[in-house]
Amino acid sequence: MATFVDRVQLQVVGGSGGHGAASIRREKFKPLAGPDGADGGRGGDVILEVDASTTTLLEYHHRPHQRATGGGFGKGDLRHGARGEDLVLPVPDGTVVTDEHGTVLADMIGIGTRYVAARGGSGGLGNAALANTKRKAPGFALLGEPGQERTLVLELKSVADVALVGFPSAGKSSLIAAMSAARPKIADYPFTTLVPNLGVVEAGQHRYTVADVPGLIPGASQGKGLGLDFLRHIERCHVIVHVLDAASLESERDPVGDLATIEGELAAYAASLDEQTEGRVPLMERPTVIVLNKTDLPDGEDMADMVRAQLAERDVPVLDVSAVSRKGLRELAYTLGELVEQARAALPAPEAAPIVIAPKAVDEKGFAVVTEQYEGGTAFRVRGDKPERWVRQTDFTNDEAVGFLADRLAKLGVEDQLYAAGAVAGSTVLIGPGDDAVVFDWEPTMVGGAELLGRRGTDDRLEDHHRPTRETKKAQQRERTAARMDRLAAMEAERRAGHWSDPTDDGMR
């Protein structure tokens, strides 16, 4: 089973906000003493935090779904709901957070760095907070909002000063083990190193980290072998060390050819990098050191003598080393230390992020009305943060809450925009995106006004109080007159048939 994962897809959901409470305070001799329903608690956030003890994303490979705790419900007697606890997820130093489309959201470097991956939903207001001079005892409360839901991609890019690159079995793991306290797996077969290894090297006043990148082969930049998965770990380094096997047992390979192959793969990978490397020296322009390893062996020493002059033409340091006999390791450690210090000194001074102030325009409506074709007819979709949030907060089983929503939408100007878009009574109106939208038949006569309220929890505007037209009244009158004439005709027919006698007739006639 793998013990190291450097790329995962993580689904995070913030905690839902608690619902507000609709409650009426009751006191002795005063059964209706006013609203006392409190607000619901806010849901917890999902937070990513760089942790020194975390070195892999394996935990989120096994548990890709993370959800924060929801807020508590509000209660009567002004008892507010508890706030949901934040869910803090530890990630390794150097984790890059992107969305599903590859847009970088956070580059998390430095212990303690935090990023809010998903925000918790706001708690709903209780009826005590909704009361005003016209609506003194609301019979409803607002619902809590659902937490933010996002799908993120976490990608670990090692934070190291020096990267050791080379073919499999070139001796990179042995080299980092000899120079530092790191103890990577070492064996005599290719692809022994399956995960990047980090080691700390101290050489005099120099102190820096070295990363042992898994072996690269031709085609690594296109995904062949393990190269594509681990090339990302050299992006942050200051110095690149090419570890060449001077005693390779393969007759078709030599240090010069190996170097040309690895540089070609690095160049191909560097060309695919985007603006994420902005502010750093381009990958192919960073300081380079060539290390001829395994020169303690006779074949290795002979090969080093043959290619040393050709490699020296590149005008970069070329060192003969042996991880086994520790030949040349001291010189290599000091050479790398000096290059790292120079690279650090050349880095631009960190600048504080500018404060961006983006005030909204004074005529900003905050919503838009879009005309759509819906089931063979015309529908009007309302999009905007406020209308969509208000819909999520509305309890549609409570008529008074629905009336309150209508008042808020009318005050925002939604009805005016619907009129301007061509909506009429009975038009289909949708609020929200996609299939999650709330659909209803628009009734433009629902003007705002708390004075039209009925009993608590009801709204007279939602009752059927349509005033009949003059034509309707005439038709109803004609129906009543016709029914009365029919009754009189039936009574006259019964009298003539002798079924009943006239009480005014005494029979003396």
Quick one: what percent of the chain has pLDDT higher than 90? 18
Q: Is 373 helix (H, G, I), strand (E, B) or coil?
A: strand
In the chain, what are the helix, strand and coil shares in percent, each to the nearest 5? 30, 20, 50
Whether 114 shows a pLDDT value over 80: the answer reads yes
Backbone angles phi, psi at 107, to 5 degrees: -115, 100
| pLDDT band per the 50, 70, 90 thresholds, residue 56 | confident
Whether 43 shows a pLDDT value over 90: the answer reads yes
Q: How far apart are CA 38 and CA 457, in angstroms?
A: 17
Segment 190-213 shows an average pLDDT of 71
Q: Is 493 annotated as a binding residue?
A: no
Whether 118 shows a pLDDT value over 90: the answer reads yes
Number of neighbouring beta carbons within 10 Å of residue 1? 4
Q: Is 382 annotated as a binding residue?
A: no
Segment 194-210 shows an average pLDDT of 77
CA distance from start to end of the chain: 120
Q: Is 295 annotated as a binding residue?
A: yes
Q: Is 167 annotated as a binding residue?
A: yes
What is the structure's pLDDT at 190? Answer: 41
Check if the beta carbon of residue 86 is closer than 8 Å to that of residue 37.
no
Q: Is 23 annotated as a binding residue?
A: no
Q: Is 188 annotated as a binding residue?
A: no
| pLDDT band per the 50, 70, 90 thresholds, residue 249 | low
Residue ranges matching CATH 3.30.300.350 in the chain: 368-462
What is the structure's pLDDT at 96? Answer: 86
Check if the beta carbon of residue 167 is closer than 8 Å to that of residue 220.
no
Q: What is the pLDDT of residues 444-490, one digit of tens each?
A: 755 445 445 556 666 666 665 566 777 887 888 889 889 889 988 88
Check if the beta carbon of residue 233 is closer than 8 Å to that of residue 196.
yes
Sheet holding 318-320, edge to edge: 197-203, 206-212, 162-165, 239-245, 288-293, 318-320
Residue ranges matching CATH 3.40.50.300 in the chain: 162-346
Residue owning tokens 């089931």: 375
Sheet holding 46-50, edge to edge: 87-91, 46-50, 114-118
Check if the beta carbon of residue 300 is closer than 8 Å to that of residue 306.
no
Q: Is 172 annotated as a binding residue?
A: yes
Q: Is 204 annotated as a binding residue?
A: no
What letter represents residue 451's amino acid? E
Contacts 24+ apart (CB under 8 A), 254-257: 254/303, 254/307, 255/292, 255/303, 255/304, 255/307, 255/311, 256/307, 256/310, 256/311
Q: Is 112 annotated as a binding residue?
A: no
Q: What is the pLDDT of residues 330-351, one digit of tens each?
A: 898 899 889 988 888 887 765 5
SS (H, E, C) 325-356: CCECHHHHHHHHHHHHHHHHHHCCCCCCCCCC
Residue 25 DSSP symbol: -
Span of 156-165, 227-236, 318-327 with lowest mean pLDDT: 227-236
DSSP structure string for 51-108: -TT----HHHHH--EEEPPPPPPPBTTTBPPPPPPPEEEEE-TTEEEEETT--EEEEE
The CATH number of 162-346 is: 3.40.50.300
Segment 50-78 shows an average pLDDT of 89
Whether 69 shows a pLDDT value over 90: the answer reads yes
Whether 371 shows a pLDDT value over 70: the answer reads yes
Q: Is 293 annotated as a binding residue?
A: yes
What is the structure's pLDDT at 496? Answer: 82
Number of neighbouring beta carbons within 10 Å of residue 311? 18
| pLDDT band per the 50, 70, 90 thresholds, residue 195 | low
Q: Is 239 annotated as a binding residue?
A: no
Whether 7 shows a pLDDT value over 90: the answer reads no
Contacts of 43 (CB under 8 A, 6+ apart): 14, 15, 16, 17, 18, 68, 69, 70, 71, 84, 120, 121, 122, 123, 144, 145, 147
Segment 146-169 shows an average pLDDT of 85
Whether 214 shows a pLDDT value over 90: the answer reads no
What is the structure's pLDDT at 72? Answer: 94
| pLDDT band per the 50, 70, 90 thresholds, residue 411 | confident
Q: Is 322 annotated as a binding residue?
A: yes
Fold for 368-462, please state it.
GMP Synthetase; Chain A, domain 3 (3.30.300)
Q: Is 40 annotated as a binding residue?
A: no
Segment 183-203 shows an average pLDDT of 58
Q: Is 171 annotated as a binding residue?
A: yes
Whether 359 shows a pLDDT value over 50: the answer reads yes
Q: Is 214 annotated as a binding residue?
A: yes
Is it true that domain 1-156 has CATH number 2.50.20.10? no
Residue owning tokens 């956070």: 106
Q: What is the pLDDT of residues 273-318, one digit of tens each?
A: 654 455 566 777 888 888 888 888 888 888 888 888 888 888 888 8
Residue ranges matching CATH 2.70.210.12 in the chain: 1-156
What is the structure's pLDDT at 204? Answer: 82
| pLDDT band per the 50, 70, 90 thresholds, residue 89 | very high
Q: Is 268 annotated as a binding residue?
A: no
Whether 45 shows a pLDDT value over 80: the answer reads yes
Residue 435 DSSP symbol: G
Whether 384 shows a pLDDT value over 70: the answer reads yes
Q: Is 426 annotated as a binding residue?
A: no
Quick one: what percent of the chain has pLDDT higher than 70? 78
Please tell me the pTM assigned to this model: 0.66
